[in-house]
Amino acid sequence: MSINSTSCGPLGAACDVAQATRMGAGGPVVEQEPRPVTRGESHTHTTAHVDWFACTFLPGSAGLGIVESVFLLPRADWVKRPGGWQGYDTRIDLGGLGLLGYGGEHQRGTVHLELNALGCARVRDWNAVKVWCEAYGVRITRVDLAHDDFTGEVVNVSQARAWFQQGQFTTGGRAPTARLLDDLGSDRGKTLYVGQRQHGKLCRVYEKGKQLGDKQSPWCRVEVEFRGKSRVIPYDVLVRAGDYLAGAYPCLAYLSKRQDKVRTLKKSAEIGYARMVECLRTQYGPALNAMLRVEGGDPFAVLEQAVRPGVPKRLANLPLPRRGSREGHAK
C-alpha cells in the first residue's frame, strides 16, 4: 500500500477544556484536560463530538423558524446571499455558522441545512436535535465525528500511517486508499486522508495544533466524515458520537467499549433480510409446513398461494442474485 505526499498550510487559535487521549498502563485512556481551540471550535465532555452536520427536511407549518428554535441560530444574523445552492433557488448564510437552502421546482418543498464546526459548537443539546429529526423524518446527509488527542501519544499521523499499513482501516472487502498532505518539515501540520468522499466515508488524521499555528503543539485530531450516499445515517449518531467513531475502523475501537457502525444500504438490507427470514420461520413456519403437507410436498403450490406482489421498503436495496447462482449452489 502506498501513500502520496503533497503540502498543506496553517490556521489561527485560543483555549477551552475537552477530552484527551493518553497512554496508560492498560493502553489508551481518555481524560479531560485544557486545550487550545479556535473561536467556535467544537468542545465537548465526551470521547467524540459532532463537528459537521447536514440534513434535508420538510419544514411543515413551523417554516424556517424551526431551524432557529432547534439549533439556537438567531434569525437576526441570517443573511440572504445571491444565487442558489445545492440545487435550491435561495441561499441563506446563517451568520457564519452554516448555510440554508430552500425553494426550487424540483426540491419538493424541502429545505437543506448545513452546520459547520462553528455551528455545531453552538448546539448544547444534541438529544433535542435527535428528537426533532425523528419527529420530522429528517434525512441526515452528512455528519463528521471527531476525537482530539491533545498529547499526540495515541493518535498522530505516524501512528495512523502504521495503522493503515497494518490494515487497521480495512472494514471488509478491499483496503481503502490513502494520501498524505506533508508539511515537508515546516511544522505547519500534516494530514493523512483514508478513503474517498465520493464513497461516503472519509477519515482525516491531522496535526490540529500545528495547523492552528502552534508549531510545538502535539495536538492531533482524528475525524470521520460520513455522507448519506449509499448509507442511512442513524439519528443515534448525534448522541453517541464516540460509539460510532469507535465503530468506524478497527484502529479506533479503543475509543469506546461499544462500537456501532454506519452501515451501507446494501449491508442494512442484508441484515433486514436475515431478520425477515427469522421472523417468517418463527411466526409462520408451522403454517407453511402444514400447507406443504396439504399440497403433497409441492413448494411451488405453497408459494403460489402465499406470495403477493411487492417488496418491503427496508429491503428495496437488497442486491438480487445473479442468474444461475442458485443452480450453481445446488451442485
Q: Which three cell numbers stand for residue 88?
A: 435550491
Name every residue whose Cβ is closer than 8 Å to that of residue 95 and which is 6 or more positions away in sequence: 73, 74, 77, 78, 79
Supply the mean pLDDT for the chain: 80
Confidence of residue 291 (pLDDT cuts 50, 70, 90): confident
Distance from C-alpha of 47 to C-alpha of 29, rounded to nearest angstrom: 10
Is 209's pLDDT higher than 70? yes
Is 137's pLDDT higher than 50? yes
The least confident of 55-69, 134-148, 241-255 is: 55-69
Strand partners, 86: none
Name every residue whose Cβ is closer than 8 Å to that of residue 10 and which is 6 or more positions away in sequence: 188, 189, 210, 211, 212, 213
pLDDT for 46 equals 61
Asked if residues 110 and 56 have their Cβ atoms less than 8 Å apart, the reply is: yes
pLDDT for 249 equals 94
Q: pTM of the entire structure? A: 0.68
Single out the residue of 2, 12, 28, 89 nearest to residue 256, CA to CA: 28
Asked if residues 244 and 262 have their Cβ atoms less than 8 Å apart, the reply is: yes
- In tens, the pLDDT along 210-258 reads 999 999 999 999 999 999 877 889 999 999 999 999 999 999 999 998 8
Is 10's pLDDT higher than 70? no
